Structure 1
Amino acid sequence: MEYAISGKKVSALKTDCLILAVDEKATLLPADLPAGTSSQIRQLIKDRDFSGKKNQTLLVSQPTDLPAKRLLLVGTGDLPLAPGAFIKMLSSAVQALKASGSRNAAWLLNDTLVRDQDVLWQVREGTRAVDEALYRFDQYRSKPATGSPLTNFTFIGEGSKAALQEALRQGQAVAAGVTLCRDLGNQPPNQCYPAYLTEQARTLAKQYPALKVSVISEAQAEKMGMGAFCAVARGSEREGQIIIMEYKGAKGAPVALVGKAVTFDTGGISLKPGAGMDEMKYDMGGGASVFGAVKAVCELSLPIHLVAVVAAAENMPDGRASRPGDIVTSLSGQTVEILNTDAEGRLVLCDALTWVQQKHKPHTVIDIATLTGACVVALGSHAQAVYANDHELAKALLDAGDDSMDRGWPMPLWDDYQEQLDSPFADMANIGGPKAGSITAACFLSRFTKEVKWAHLDIAGTAWISAGKQKGATGRPVPMLTRYLMDLASS
């Protein structure tokens, strides 16, 4: 998809389809819209062919007095729109465009359309919304379904063209990161395994000279003392790998992203129920989001120092797999009693968290993981859980999520919950019982991040959609992470 910015008048714009956001009273119609077109739209409303209700669309062929071949009206409902409603409205417009046969289209910006957001925000987030609405994953179909013919999308508006171009560049970068995250998440587990992710990292490094990649093999991890990581990885014939991507766009201590990438999670000896187990290919969503954020950062050439660590393993129940009751020693020296082998994400993460602190001395560490079903129960699919040992870091992530419509919700990390992890035989257990499962998982990770500013994102509810036509990876929380890193770079 090619995107562009234009300051042309709509009366002179030649395009396959001009898209207009229209409310019930047609108050949003631009002043430079030809009188004949305005009259035509008002007549359509009067005749009740179009109401302007939220997300309603109407395609008008050969609109009056316009050089555009088609006019697509998209209803706004109440004004101004909430940011999330804007994204949904634009997605509805793209669905109508896909059916129209249009090869190129133009969206007319309006500074009063979205509550508390200007046209720069509309361009940035609109670019991502269009890209996400057009996304397809059909590389494994013998005969791929016919996709949308749409290849060009232009934003029409007044203002600083340089500022609009920069907003567009940012939107395209985040969209590219989201697409990579979705592509990795949607890969079947017989194709996407730890070594495959390593190949993807090396491919990124070839595309972006500022990115350097290194790998810790499972054998090396065992020699280094990563007993927790290896306890998960050893049950699979496919070796676990810890993938490190370092982007050095600035000097000084780095910010670190650490992603859980369990490329398939059977639950291990604590085997999961069979129903829906195909979705356990998405258990590498945290690692996929790290890949997406790295790509976006490279596209934007952000002036930051970033170290991204992806802890990749398969959790399989073979004869070498860890058992409930096993005790392992983590890289930090702390011992863990494994009471449930399906609580494996925190095991691969804790050694990766320790390693990145020992090796790179980051000023901030953020880990991302599809960690607990309890998080899905608590927050559903709308918000990822945000835990942090630093108030300002939590606020920065939450603000980034609000701005990018990739929202999070603050969760408690109180010492009161820590005792649920007590073990009679080791320093801690890897589960904290049936209550507050997402919180105790975060408490577990907090024991490996006491000396650094740290946040944990539990994305079990947001990383993928489970059913229906939309089933698949969402690309979250790439927008939140990228917005946070952009804000960090600008500060």
Structure 2
Amino acid sequence: MLSPAGSGAQEQPMYRDIRAAAGRGRAAFDAVAAFLFDNTRRVPSEFAGLDRSTGGALGAALKREEFSAARGSICCLYPDQGPKRLYLLGLGPADGFDGSTLRVAAARLAAASHAAKLRNIRLELGSVTGRAVWADRRASALTVAALVGRAVGDGLSIGNFSFDTYKAKPSGSRGSRASGRTPTSLSVHVDQPLRGDLAFALRTGASVDVARELAATPPNVAGPSWIVSYCRKMARATGLRCSVIGAAKARTLGLRGLLAVGAAGSSPPALICLEHRPAKSKRGARPVMLVGKTITFDTGGYSLKPATSMDGMKYDKCGGTAVIGAMHAIARHRLPTPVVALLPVAENMVSHKGYRPGDILRMHNGVTVEVTNTDAEGRLVLADALSYGCARYRPRAIVDLATLTGGVVVALGSACAGAFCTDEDWWSHLARAADDAGERLWRLPLWDQHREMMKTHHADIVNSAGREAHPIQGAAFLSHFVDAKVPWAHLDIAGVSDLKKPDDLHGKGPTGFGVRLLVRAVESL
């Protein structure tokens, strides 16, 4: 029997845990899932055993005129023998196959598995692990099996996400879980070559969920003091070191950009410092530094946003939540590279204490900034964090993430993040990591001409110079606060951090973009 299975993002509660497990005989599972390329009309040789174990159900389905293995398609067979269910996951044309295709297929499978209340499933990937296209990727150090395992794990995690903390629970829901009718975990069985990387990706996926949940938490809950408390608790749970520079210490250090932006907030601004110090790292090793814009809500300040633009501004903290998620994963994976994360956290509100257009601020490194737009606040808090971090930690390389400009959304939409980097080696490293993680970057220019644009008469620079080269202005501004000898990349994630409508992989809302990329970048150093 052939029937369509559900697709797209789920709003219902999903599995609490998905884990990788060893493969064994097909009949012992609740279901088996086979990954197929489009226009497959005969049983591939690698699936001959599967076809026999299901009494020819696979071969019969492939011969049906209406069968399609288009990218993202999923259908369910109910064989007369063998597993109770056989899912056929479409990968589309073999010529266009890549990791994103696997992620979409696995995300569909996660949703379908939960809807069917499966507790275990075996994956049959066939020729996917031998596709030559994987070898053509940009000099990845990962094997084909690793790329496949991680892409599948990514997709399962992404498809399993839901955020229902603030929804009323249906009556009887506790009883359903207690009786075991709704499973809380899913075991995914694969062959040995894939298992380690599938487990790695699922573990990273749990950290991506941390970022997505934090991003979705509403601003009346997740204010600056709440984020500080969360980071302290997470650090204790994962073995990270956490220190917090409060408003009084920030004033002493000269973090006047951070203080100005957060002056009108419901709780004081702070600079959160998370440190991963692995026991096996060399003594005196310089850390990688991650910096994330953490504006818990952005009204625009006195340069007030219109009401339609203010909706969704809880997501202005997504740069910070991505860094938090990455640090969570880096600590849990026990990666050997030392990493420090800086999270300038503030709430950009309006009151008599708020900063104004026309104010001139002397920043941490002594550069003076004339405020021309209080809605260009993210670069002010990032500037102080970058300057302080360069002086305090002497990092070997830096990545900052921020929902910084609407201009990058106009330029690139939600297909990729805008990237700015003037160090070729560091850019090549990040580009490879982005490819491996399935999180696209598009490099935009950052030239001396752009830096000159930011200069002004009454101060050294302005925080906003109008609409010309709008997405580049943020990077040009920040470049004045980074040690020129340190490789640095700025990632503007405004278009990819949250989605206004579902795409073929994510549902509406936060995506956790950047967590997998940062983890891979640190892992591959």
TM norm. shorter chain > 0.5: yes
CA distance in 1, matches of 2:369, 2:122: 57
- Corresponding residue number in structure 1 for 2:140: none
> Residues 394 and 127 from structure 1, CA distance in 2 versus in 1: closer, same or farther, beyond 3 angstroms?
same
Contact 1:407–1:480 (CA<8 Å) still a contact in 2? no
Q: Match for 1:184: what amino acid?
A: L
Contact 1:270–1:342 (CA<8 Å) still a contact in 2? yes
- Corresponding residue number in structure 1 for 2:518: 481
Contact 1:228–1:351 (CA<8 Å) still a contact in 2? yes
Aligned pair 1:85/2:101, yes or no?
A: yes
- Corresponding residue number in structure 1 for 2:185: 151
Q: Match for 1:69: what amino acid?
A: K
Cα displacement string for residues 424-459 of structure 1 (whole angstroms, at most 9, x for unaligned residues)? 110000012211111111010011112422111110
- Corresponding residue number in structure 2 for 1:141: 167
- Corresponding residue number in structure 2 for 1:253: 286
359-368 or 146-155: which moved more?
Answer: 146-155
- Corresponding residue number in structure 1 for 2:509: 472
Pick aligned residue for 1:215 from 244, 256, 259: 244
Aligned pair 1:101/2:117, yes or no?
A: yes
Secondary structure in 2 matching 1:313: strand
- Corresponding residue number in structure 2 for 1:16: 30
Pick aligned residue for 1:116 from 118, 129, 134: 134
Q: Match for 2:323: what amino acid?
A: V
CA distance in 2, matches of 1:154, 1:401: 25
Contact 2:454–2:464 (CA<8 Å) still a contact in 1? yes
CA distance in 2, matches of 1:55, 1:42: 20
Cα displacement string for residues 377-423 of structure 1 (whole angstroms, at most 9, x for unaligned residues)? 11111111111121111111111111111111111111111222121
Q: Match for 2:162: what amino acid?
A: R
CA distance in 2, matches of 1:420, 1:436: 9
Q: Match for 1:426: what amino acid?
A: A
- Corresponding residue number in structure 1 for 2:429: 396
Q: CA deviation at 1:111?
A: 4.3
- Corresponding residue number in structure 1 for 2:70: 53
- Corresponding residue number in structure 1 for 2:357: 324
What residue ranges of structure 1 are gaps of 5+ in the alignment?
Answer: none
Q: Match for 1:59: what amino acid?
A: C
Contact 1:111–1:119 (CA<8 Å) still a contact in 2? no
Q: CA deviation at 1:184?
A: 0.5
- Corresponding residue number in structure 1 for 2:204: 174
Percentage identity across aligned positions? 34
Q: Match for 1:128: what amino acid?
A: D
> Residues 165 and 83 from structure 1, CA distance in 2 versus in 1: closer, same or farther, beyond 3 angstroms?
closer
> Residues 172 and 86 from structure 1, CA distance in 2 versus in 1: closer, same or farther, beyond 3 angstroms?
closer
Contact 1:243–1:311 (CA<8 Å) still a contact in 2? yes
Contact 2:403–2:493 (CA<8 Å) still a contact in 1? yes
Q: CA deviation at 1:247?
A: 0.8
Cα displacement string for residues 13-51 of structure 1 (whole angstroms, at most 9, x for unaligned residues)? 411111112333245452422426373222223233523
CA distance in 2, matches of 1:325, 1:235: 17
- Corresponding residue number in structure 2 for 1:131: 157
Q: CA RMSD in A?
A: 2.0
- Corresponding residue number in structure 2 for 1:458: 492
Pick aligned residue for 2:345 from 296, 300, 312: 312
Aligned pair 1:284/2:313, yes or no?
A: no
Contact 1:297–1:482 (CA<8 Å) still a contact in 2? yes
- Corresponding residue number in structure 2 for 1:4: 20
Aligned pair 1:409/2:409, yes or no?
A: no
Contact 1:193–1:314 (CA<8 Å) still a contact in 2? yes
TM (norm. structure 2) is: 0.87
Q: Match for 2:116: what amino acid?
A: S
Secondary structure in 1 matching 2:388: helix
Pick aligned residue for 1:271 from 271, 283, 304: 304
Q: Match for 1:25: what amino acid?
A: R
Secondary structure in 2 matching 1:180: helix
Cα displacement string for residues 287-319 of structure 1 (whole angstroms, at most 9, x for unaligned residues)? 001101101101110111111110000000111
Q: CA deviation at 1:3?
A: 1.3
Secondary structure in 2 matching 1:352: helix
- Corresponding residue number in structure 1 for 2:139: none
Contact 1:233–1:314 (CA<8 Å) still a contact in 2? yes
- Corresponding residue number in structure 2 for 1:205: 235
Contact 1:109–1:119 (CA<8 Å) still a contact in 2? no
Q: Match for 1:477: what amino acid?
A: G
Secondary structure in 2 matching 1:275: helix
> Residues 165 and 107 from structure 1, CA distance in 2 versus in 1: closer, same or farther, beyond 3 angstroms?
closer
CA distance in 2, matches of 1:371, 1:38: 56
Secondary structure in 1 matching 2:379: helix
CA distance in 1, matches of 2:161, 2:24: 28
Cα displacement string for residues 206-249 of structure 1 (whole angstroms, at most 9, x for unaligned residues)? 2123x110000012111211111111011213110110001101
Contact 1:110–1:119 (CA<8 Å) still a contact in 2? no
Pick aligned residue for 2:415 from 376, 382, 385: 382
Contact 2:35–2:88 (CA<8 Å) still a contact in 1? yes
